[in-house]
Structure 1
Amino acid sequence: MRIETGFQPIPFSEGNAYVEDPVLPSLLKRPLPSSVLQEIQPDLVRLGSEVVTTLRELSGSKKVHPPTLLQYDQWGRRIDKLETSEGWRELKATSQREGLPAIFYERKYGAHSRTYGFAKVTIMVGDTNEIFCPMSMTDGTARVIELTGSPSMKRDIYPRLISRDPAYAFTSGQWMTERPGGSDVSLTETTATNSNKSNEYGPQYTLDGVKWFSSATDSEVSVALARTGTLKQGSRGLSLFLVPLRLPLVRNSSDPIPSPTSNNILVHRLKNKIGTQILPTAELTLESTEAYLIGELGLGIKNISPVLNITRLWSATASIGNLRKCLAIAKSYAKVRAIQSGTVLLKDAPIHVEQLASVNLVYRALTHFTFGVIGLLGKVECGTATQNEQRRLRMLTPVAKAYCAEKACAAMEEAMAAMGGAGYMEENGFGRSIRDALVEKIWEGTIVVLALDLTRSATDPAYTDAFIYWAKSIIASCPDNLHQKLSSEINILNDAITEISAAYTKPLKTIVPRPALMLVGAIASNVYLLEHAIWSYTTTESTKELDVEVFRRWILEGGLEAAIQSVQRAKVDVESRINTSSALVFGPDAKSKL
């Protein structure tokens, strides 16, 4: 039999990425004023169409391939010529033209500008080959310069970081990770020496050291931590610097491009990663590299924190955005794939629909959670947040990043499996999305690192009180008839809130932070779903019954009760559990020394 004869599978056709999204159109109606939504919605509809046509075609084309590094020329001279693909450069230019990150700083819609911009990120991210890694760091660097940059940085660098013109725009990296510590920057080896030279951008220093992971190595600038104090001072001896990747930093477009080594930055190798393969991530050496102090000496961690907080929300959005794409593909496939001798479509097979519904539920919960935190960021940046909202943003930023990465990766695999063997094919995009999304479990902090970061704020009663007050106020706003309908589910939610109140009481048990973070994520995602269900119910939206059912299912099926039990186990007979865990991993004679 020839391949052209016999049964012919029907290719699926994916619809508009925004219009057919199960969450965004409804979600945006709640926090956005109707005038804002009416103005931005045509742009989101346009983008939703371009994502599944133009952008997807570019993202999967031969134009997109991993970068290359040529360290030496034929005469043995060190040149460190980094070549990124044409597709990578086009994706970067597309992002800038779409207003990312410009939308956030134009602030046309005030605090809602963050919601608008991140809606575009959610729609695009699954088809952009992780271009939002450098765009997120560019966003963070723009915020750092806006807050603490020198007047000349604000004049020359800031406008380029937020520009919509790819010919004028800069992108930025963020260099923290070094060999001794990974996410622990207290052992940073890179040193900064005052050059005693005047520079229009601020106090000029020379940096010497090794940066072990430098994403966006093709950027024009980077922010970097370097030691201005002693090693004994740990992270308190670090300061923040703006580093030009080439000198001169600002030049006319007609001027020749300076050598890649013009600022004494040497690229030793490109990282061979599981995913994000077209993103140039490198190992760098700084050898008397010119850099400019940002803010005050010794406040490097504080000054770089806007980069960390902003990139963590980009990371959470990347998790939900890749899940969005995988779910959309699996749903589209279910509409054309027939089973039972071709008599029943998958969309009409209850057991199959149940699997897709579980993935859909995860996507809804994570998206409402993420956009809830994004809304807080917008308020804080525009100076309209209350003190309690500021505290909630501090608590929930690391939680959103960790919780979304953990939940989304598993759900993406379920969406892939829902297509059977067809889902395992590279052409449909599942493979790249899953590989790229896996980095979100690591980049900008693993779950354990983020759990410890959460602990630093949550052990302050003012922060947990702010979180609990918000959760209880949403529950209290539930109309009586709806509260009665959801009484058993709300009781479970209240049990979780009680548990988290006790979890962060000092002295904290050693192994509580990780399960406690997951419990905070479970509580927050449920509360945001409840908030939406209440809004939908009281405004008599056409989806009100479905929105209420989403909350109910997430309470019962999203792992909230299991999260409560995990925290409770982590507080009981801790020493015995720690020793048993060591024996499980390293053998029966192993015991923890902590």
Structure 2
Amino acid sequence: MSFFQAPPQLGNQYDDDAFLQGYLARTLPEDVRRSLTDEFRELGELSGKYFYEFQLRDRLNEPVLTQWDAWGHRIDHIEVSPLWKEAEALTARKGLVATAYEQKHGALSRVHQFTLNYLVQPSLDVYSCPLAMTDGAARSLLSLGNKALIDHALPRLTSRDPATFWTSGQWMTERTGGSDVGLTQTEARKSPEGWRLYGTKWFTSATTAQMALTLGRPEGNGPGGKGLALFYVETRDAAGKLNGIQINRLKDKFGTRKVPTAELTLDGALAVPVAGLTDGIRNMAMMLNVTRTWNAVGAAWSMRRAMALARDYARRRVQFGAKLSEKPLHVDTLAGLEAEYQAGFLLSFRAVELLGKLETQTATESELLLQRLVTPLAKLTTGRQVVHITSEVTESFGGAGYVEDTGLPRVQADAQVLSIWEGTTNVLSLDALRALAKEGTLEAFFHEVEGRLAKVRDADLRPCVTVAQDALEHARAWVSGALGNPTTLEAGARRFSLTLGRTLELALLSEHAQWSLENGHGPRSKAAARRFSKHGVDLIRDDIDLDDARLLA
């Protein structure tokens, strides 16, 4: 008798996500939640059916660069995949960017917006990449106050009309590398028409966007980040021709292959300074707030999609006389992954909540300090979690997980970038230390964690509280002792930052578990908190041996 494996299937990604529904019930006022449920359910259905099936059919349609037309004209046209074209129209119609700026629900508008994206983006082949930068550009223009650019660009970046909606690029990376943008070599020269940019951008992720924000060094400015300026660039002129931009090639990447990532040469691209002719890196701060938050929530929705596929497959796949979902070892493996996912979700959406308060000017002084720290912590912590979970899920499918035409390897490959984009784990760890340098930040973080833990009363959750408290005290002691030794501080920054991130995750998960028990949402999150507390929350080492490290590096 022939035997064929049954592929995993997805249902409505809102109806099937009890954890998301619990979070929304706890976070949103009841009337707001009820008013949004149909919208969430609609996107959940599109995500689990239409767009998921479209994604599988569209798997081989990657971006194509045509540099020359048949008559020898340089055109540098990029054709994106059919799914991406439909995703752009969906973005406008459903307000996947606009919702945050319409602010119908005040600070909670960010929760509304990111829930929409959390539901549908796993089926849109990383279309979230240009949307993160579009959102970041819109917020940057608003925060920097250039009225002419706000009036011109913001209505397009936040439009609900597919015919007028724009996306934005964020062109920072040059041949000198990604993180040390102070080494930027692009030069800005004054011309009769305005400022023009000359240089090469080595890695641009939204090359098909209508505009971009980028860094350049105005002629005569000194070296380093202080001498850079933030510029606004429209990619094409009124005639539709590229604005002093040449697309050299598309990148051949491990993952995110639907994203048209390119190398660009700027050869006199007409540009407008966004906020003066210096302090370009400082002026990018709000953009990073937004794009790092997108990155963290992207990790959450990627973990959720991986788990949904693995769980459905486990109910279908029979091995050694029983379904995988009945095998104790397989059940134990998936349970550990679920605990990590729930913790990562809550941390990423805590960053979302704080961003909403920052933008609506409703944050307390303590919350402002907390937001500056939690954003890099959420990005770096979830970035590591999603790589682990998607790797384990690939393995849970056996050989099928390693075969490209199942679509499963893309889940893992696309997730790998989330620990790299917007700053690697190490870079974000150092950024977390910089955030802590501001007086009161560590105290604000401790107050946040302790406040969450104080709400936990269930006896079975008390061990989770103890684990979190112990990790918190260890972190306080370690950073206090390391402050006088910059080498030790830097060497331990990664473990310290991951400890802070995972400690806050455990506190958030324990609090949510307590709420779930008290409000009829069951013991599932309690089980997740208890398991997560045993996964390694305190990662700090007091015995870092740098001599050994140098020998081994």
Shift of 1:531: 2.1
- Structure 1 residue aligned with 2:170: 174
> Counterparts of 1:290 and 1:121 in 2: how far apart (Å)?
33
**Would you say the 8 A contact 1:32–1:112 is kept in 2?**
yes
Shift of 1:345: 2.2
- Structure 2 residue aligned with 1:313: 293
- Structure 1 residue aligned with 2:520: 541
- Residues 542 and 275 of structure 1: is their aligned pair in 2 closer, same or farther, counting only changes over 3 Å? closer
- Residue among 257, 260, 263 paired with 1:280: 260
- Structure 1 residue aligned with 2:201: 211
Deviations 1:491-539 (A, max 9, x none): 22112111222333322423011111111111111111122123234x3
> Counterparts of 2:7 and 2:245 in 1: how far apart (Å)?
49
- Structure 2 residue aligned with 1:294: 274
Q: Which runs of 5+ in 2 are unaligned?
A: none
- Residue among 451, 455, 465 paired with 1:490: 465
| 2:529 pairs with 1:551 | yes
- Structure 1 residue aligned with 2:543: 569
- Structure 2 residue aligned with 1:467: 445
- Residue among 352, 357, 367 paired with 1:379: 357
- Residues 72 and 496 of structure 1: is their aligned pair in 2 closer, same or farther, counting only changes over 3 Å? same
> Counterparts of 2:14 and 2:69 in 1: how far apart (Å)?
48
- Structure 1 residue aligned with 2:241: 259
| 2:237 pairs with 1:237 | no
> Counterparts of 1:143 and 1:157 in 2: how far apart (Å)?
11
Partner of 1:193, secondary structure, is strand
**Would you say the 8 A contact 1:141–1:307 is kept in 2?**
yes
- Structure 2 residue aligned with 1:112: 108
**Would you say the 8 A contact 1:229–1:238 is kept in 2?**
no
> Counterparts of 1:548 and 1:327 in 2: how far apart (Å)?
18
Shift of 1:149: 4.2
Shift of 1:75: 4.7
- Residues 27 and 196 of structure 1: is their aligned pair in 2 closer, same or farther, counting only changes over 3 Å? same
Residue 398 of structure 1 aligns with an amino acid whose one-letter code is P
| 2:475 pairs with 1:500 | yes
Shift of 1:232: 4.7
**Would you say the 8 A contact 1:458–1:504 is kept in 2?**
no
Pick which of 33-42 and 545-554 moved more: 545-554
- Residues 71 and 560 of structure 1: is their aligned pair in 2 closer, same or farther, counting only changes over 3 Å? same
- Residues 150 and 44 of structure 1: is their aligned pair in 2 closer, same or farther, counting only changes over 3 Å? same
**Would you say the 8 A contact 2:465–2:510 is kept in 1?**
no
- Residue among 17, 21, 43 paired with 1:21: 17
Q: TM-score, normalised on structure 1?
A: 0.88
- Residue pairs, 1:82-93, within 5 angstroms: 82-93=78-89
| 2:303 pairs with 1:328 | no
- Residue among 4, 23, 27 paired with 1:31: 27
- Residue among 141, 144, 155 paired with 1:145: 141
Partner of 1:208, secondary structure, is strand
Deviations 1:460-512 (A, max 9, x none): 34111110111112222334xx2x54443322211211122233332242301
Bigger Rg, structure 1 or 2: 1
Residue 213 of structure 1 aligns with an amino acid whose one-letter code is F
**Would you say the 8 A contact 1:206–1:289 is kept in 2?**
yes
Partner of 1:82, secondary structure, is strand
**Would you say the 8 A contact 2:110–2:355 is kept in 1?**
yes
**Would you say the 8 A contact 2:22–2:516 is kept in 1?**
no
Shift of 1:115: 0.8
Percent identity over the alignment is 35
- Residues 485 and 71 of structure 1: is their aligned pair in 2 closer, same or farther, counting only changes over 3 Å? closer
Q: TM-score, normalised on structure 2?
A: 0.94
- Structure 2 residue aligned with 1:581: 549
**Would you say the 8 A contact 2:22–2:521 is kept in 1?**
no
Shift of 1:411: 1.0
**Would you say the 8 A contact 1:268–1:284 is kept in 2?**
yes
Partner of 1:556, secondary structure, is coil
> Counterparts of 1:230 and 1:464 in 2: how far apart (Å)?
40
Q: Which runs of 5+ in 1 are unaligned?
A: 198-203, 249-256, 571-576, 586-594
| 2:56 pairs with 1:60 | yes
> Counterparts of 1:291 and 1:194 in 2: how far apart (Å)?
10
Shift of 1:404: 0.6
**Would you say the 8 A contact 2:336–2:532 is kept in 1?**
no
Residue 299 of structure 2 aligns with an amino acid whose one-letter code is S
Residue 259 of structure 1 aligns with an amino acid whose one-letter code is K
Pick which of 494-503 and 167-176 moved more: 494-503
- Residue among 179, 183, 190 paired with 2:186: 190
**Would you say the 8 A contact 2:8–2:310 is kept in 1?**
no
**Would you say the 8 A contact 2:130–2:169 is kept in 1?**
yes
**Would you say the 8 A contact 2:83–2:124 is kept in 1?**
no
Shift of 1:84: 2.1
Partner of 1:57, secondary structure, is helix
Residue 529 of structure 2 aligns with an amino acid whose one-letter code is F
- Structure 2 residue aligned with 1:337: 317
Partner of 1:18, secondary structure, is coil
- Structure 1 residue aligned with 2:506: 526
Shift of 1:354: 1.0
- Residue pairs, 1:339-354, within 5 angstroms: 339-341=319-321, 344-354=322-332
> Counterparts of 1:363 and 1:19 in 2: how far apart (Å)?
18
**Would you say the 8 A contact 1:12–1:335 is kept in 2?**
no
Shift of 1:230: 5.8
**Would you say the 8 A contact 2:221–2:228 is kept in 1?**
no
| 2:330 pairs with 1:355 | no
Shift of 1:296: 2.6
**Would you say the 8 A contact 1:23–1:367 is kept in 2?**
no
Deviations 1:15-70 (A, max 9, x none): 22111124211111111111111011111112111112111122222486222222
Shift of 1:304: 1.5
The count of corresponding residues between Structure 1 and Structure 2 is 548
- Residues 427 and 95 of structure 1: is their aligned pair in 2 closer, same or farther, counting only changes over 3 Å? farther
> Counterparts of 1:369 and 1:55 in 2: how far apart (Å)?
27
> Counterparts of 2:35 and 2:532 in 1: how far apart (Å)?
32
> Counterparts of 1:430 and 1:456 in 2: how far apart (Å)?
38
| 2:374 pairs with 1:396 | yes
> Counterparts of 2:53 and 2:6 in 1: how far apart (Å)?
20
> Counterparts of 1:225 and 1:7 in 2: how far apart (Å)?
57
- Structure 2 residue aligned with 1:95: 91
> Counterparts of 2:204 and 2:263 in 1: how far apart (Å)?
6
> Counterparts of 1:172 and 1:291 in 2: how far apart (Å)?
14
| 2:60 pairs with 1:81 | no
> Counterparts of 1:433 and 1:11 in 2: how far apart (Å)?
15
Pick which of 459-468 and 207-216 moved more: 459-468
Shift of 1:448: 0.8
